[in-house]
Amino acid sequence: MSTEIKTSNEFSLLGHKPALFVLFFTEMWERFSYYGMRAIFVLFLTATFADGGWEWSNERALALLGTYTSLVYVTPVLGGWIADKFTGYQKAVALGALVMTLGHTAMALDTEITLYIGVGLLIIGNGLFKPNVTSMVSGLYDQYPDRKDGAFTIFYMGVNSGGFIGVLLCGFLGEYLSWAWGFGLAGIFMMLGMFQFWFGRSIFGEVGVEPSKKVNLSDAIENKEENVVEKVSSNVQRDRYIVVGVLAFFVVFFWAAFEQASGSMTIFANNYTQRLLNGDAASIFKIVDVLITIVPLGIITWVLLKLFSQTFKKITLSNIVLAISFLSVWGIAIWKLSEILPQETAEIPASWFLILNSLFIITLAPLFSKWWESKYNPSATVKFALGMILLGIGFGMLAWGSASIPQGAKTASVSLVWLVLAYLLHTMGELCLSPVGLSYVSKLVPAKKIGIMFGLWYLAIAIGNKLAGFVGSYIDVIVNKYSMSAFFLIFTIIPILVGLILIVITPKMKKMMHGVH
């Protein structure tokens, strides 16, 4: 009876540990800085000198973006190893946050050398931060593996909340005031996130304090069902490795197309989309903008107040930093609305469209989760196929919408509806593929090999991100020689073909999974 009471008290905040929500907000500020910076990165580099930019070519800007977004998926392998061997998770997370703060600061200095230094520091800091904050979430639930899925779902909401707010505010400041303000704001909130985490670390107990006390994730997975570990033959395991390899191969194609969001799709939003609205269209956008600014912030603030009520005495400084952070966010958000609402017209920032991905994820994730839990839950390859096909159809919307743009045109005024539809379909594709991918890796490989296989999985994502920058950098070449529609058709045809191939090989893949569903 006493054990039941203790467990109940331990999971006292919305059915979970209060410590989980400290990590929720820590991750939220990191994603705020990451996606906030990415939202204006290409826009800044390609903007004219008169608009405060550097007038880089699209090719050069997208190539650098591809290098950056690919390397942030490579360095976590090294960062996880450093934490395991030397620092422990807590120190690695704090050090990573500090390095990223310095990176954002360097980028705000507005010189080419500090830009490269800043990008390098962001890559290194991300490598230290990303894998180890995730490991801490796992460590908090080491003794409660049945609660891990729910914990990671909440944590994933922190990821998307941070991305949403970061794009909303950094994008606005970058385009409305100056690019340096946008980059600087990302750095400020990364710094606040670092302090909030460090001052609140006592709430984590022994989780991640020392390398020798690190969480053994393999044990948590092996012991998931009454300490029974599945024994499989070498032939069965070989087949499962092949399935993981096949899925990882196709993941490259997904991210090579999906990550056009921060690159060619942002250029399309900036140069080829009708963003200046008048009359009823302007009024409707203002209402939408108010709702998607106030409602999510209100929900997150409610969670914040719940956290305060339970942890303020225990981690007072951490909560004070968090309160300052949220008061600042509310202040900037209200100022943003006060600047926009009185205007007769509404000009949508090009970076604004990037918030749609996070918004649609937060809205649709529960529906997809229910689908996967139902009797209609499809197999891994079918989910991947759906993800690829939805992604392709999304680009098909852009190809269709841009069909009227003349060959070689530098500007146009295509309806914003096409971008909204594209982001909706892309997000649905992401939900079919991205969250379930890591789940299937954990199911198909032995527990002691999970770390290595996750590393290889992230390597596939890194390759996809680099390809996204490489292929996207040819946007001007293809538009000049063919058309904008032809450019988007590349990302329409290839994902749909890949999706059809996945459907064809599904029976073989299901057989090679040997009962894993």
Burial class of residue 343 in the structure, from the number of CB atoms within 10 Å of its CB (0-12 exposed, 13-18 middle, 19+ buried): exposed
Flag whether 500 is in a domain: yes
Q: Are residues 66 and 137 in the same domain?
A: yes
Write b or e for each residue in 177-207: b if 16 or more Cβ atoms lie within 10 A of its Cβ, otherwise e: ebbbbbbbbbbbbbbbbbbbbbbbbebbeeb
Flag whether 107 is in a domain: yes
3-state secondary structure of 347: strand
Q: Are residues 243 and 258 in the same domain?
A: yes
Mark which of 299, 328, 347 sits at the end of a domain: 347
- Look up the CATH number of the domain holding residue 396: 1.20.1250.20
Flag whether 131 is in a domain: yes
Please name which of 443, 424, 434, 505 lies closest in space to residue 464, comparing C-alpha atoms.
434
Q: Are residues 98 and 61 in the same domain?
A: yes
Q: Are residues 341 and 416 in the same domain?
A: no
Q: Are residues 69 and 108 in the same domain?
A: yes
In terms of pTM, does the model score above 0.95? no
Flag whether 115 is in a domain: yes
Q: Are residues 117 and 239 in the same domain?
A: no
Flag whether 1 is in a domain: no
Q: Are residues 245 and 123 in the same domain?
A: no
Give dist(CA 24, CA 35) in Å, integer: 16
Q: Are residues 466 and 507 in the same domain?
A: yes
Q: Are residues 303 and 413 in the same domain?
A: no
Flag whether 503 is in a domain: yes
Q: Are residues 362 and 242 in the same domain?
A: yes
Please name which of 467, 66, 419 lies closest in space to residue 257, comparing C-alpha atoms.
467
Sign of the torsion formed by the C-alpha atoms of 253, 130, 470 and 411: positive
Mark which of 347, 374, 394 sits at the end of a domain: 347
Q: In which domain, by residue range, is 443 found?
A: 232-275+351-516
Flag whether 225 is in a domain: no
Name the amino acid, one letter, at 5: I
Flag whether 123 is in a domain: yes
Q: Are residues 243 and 326 in the same domain?
A: no
Please report, for residues 364, 378, 443, the alpha-carbon distance to residue 375 in angstroms, rounded to integers and kept in the order given: 19, 9, 19
Output phi, psi for 220, to 5 deg: -60, -35
Q: How many domains does the chain have?
A: 2
pLDDT by residue, tens only, the chain of 517 residues: 444 445 556 777 777 889 989 999 999 999 999 999 999 999 999 999 999 999 999 999 999 999 999 999 899 888 888 888 888 889 999 999 999 999 999 999 989 999 999 999 999 999 999 888 888 887 888 788 777 767 877 887 788 889 999 999 999 999 999 999 999 999 999 999 999 999 999 999 888 887 844 444 443 333 334 344 456 778 888 888 899 899 999 999 999 999 999 999 999 999 999 999 999 999 999 999 999 999 989 999 998 998 998 898 899 999 999 999 999 999 999 999 999 999 999 999 999 999 999 889 888 888 887 887 788 888 888 999 999 999 999 999 999 999 999 998 888 889 999 999 999 999 999 989 887 777 777 778 876 676 677 778 888 999 999 999 999 999 999 999 999 999 999 999 999 999 999 999 999 988 988 877 6
Mark which of 320, 347, 374 sits at the end of a domain: 347
Q: Are residues 403 and 486 in the same domain?
A: yes
